[in-house]
Amino acid sequence: MNNFNITKMKTKVLLTLALSAVLTLTSFGQEKEKRLGFEFSGGPSLATREIYNSKLEKGFGFEGIFHYRFFQHTGVYAGWGWNRFSGKSPFSGSNTDFEETGYVIGLQFKHPVDGLLSSYYLRAGFLYNHIEVENNNGEIIGDTGHGPGFQFAAGVDIPLGSKWSLIPGVKYNAISGTTDIEEVPFSMDYHYLSVRIGFLRHF
């Protein structure tokens, strides 16, 4: 075997070893990326629809959700949330609270922003929530029972080290239901836009 063939063979072996090393390191790096996380967020809400010609005041809510990433940029999220609005009652004329509580499950797409350490995210989710109506004495006078709704959200993931991220964003929730108040049926469209600031803990 001449020197040229020996050199050619050595080159192939070195290239194979180098490629194997790169693939191993890449796989190791991907395994080290965190797939699971828990996010807690809260902030003000603004109703986008009136309830029986009653304009609702600015509200507030919070949400706790778990994340699991099963592809490089795609994952699922699921959790529980609460939101409340107050306004003049369309039923009695006094102050009334409308509280939405329940569950959410959906898909999330997250992608890095070119040139930055942060990422943007988009979410679309299914809600299984209910709306409680409370009078000015704190008594529940109506409950729609749990029913389906939907959620859209978008925001930014800003890393705060290897385990934490700051998560500012906006979300839109929409849910409708029917409840009896003083033996009179009422249909409710509970739609609102919310600004949220939260923290994500990676595991």
What residue spans define the domains of the chain? 1-32, 34-202
pTM value? Answer: 0.77
Percent of the chain with pLDDT over 90: 54
Distance of alpha carbon 22 from alpha carbon 1, whole angstroms: 31
pLDDT tens by residue, 30-71: 445 678 999 999 999 999 987 766 678 899 999 999 999 989
pLDDT tens by residue, 70-82: 898 999 999 999 9
pLDDT at 90 (0 to 100): 61
Nearest to 107 by CA among 69, 62, 158: 69
pLDDT at 62 (0 to 100): 96
Nearest to 148 by CA among 124, 171, 125, 175: 175
Annotation: CATH topology of 34-202:
Porin (2.40.160)
Distance of alpha carbon 110 from alpha carbon 119, whole angstroms: 6
pLDDT at 10 (0 to 100): 52
8: left (phi over 0), alpha (psi -120 to 50) or beta: alpha
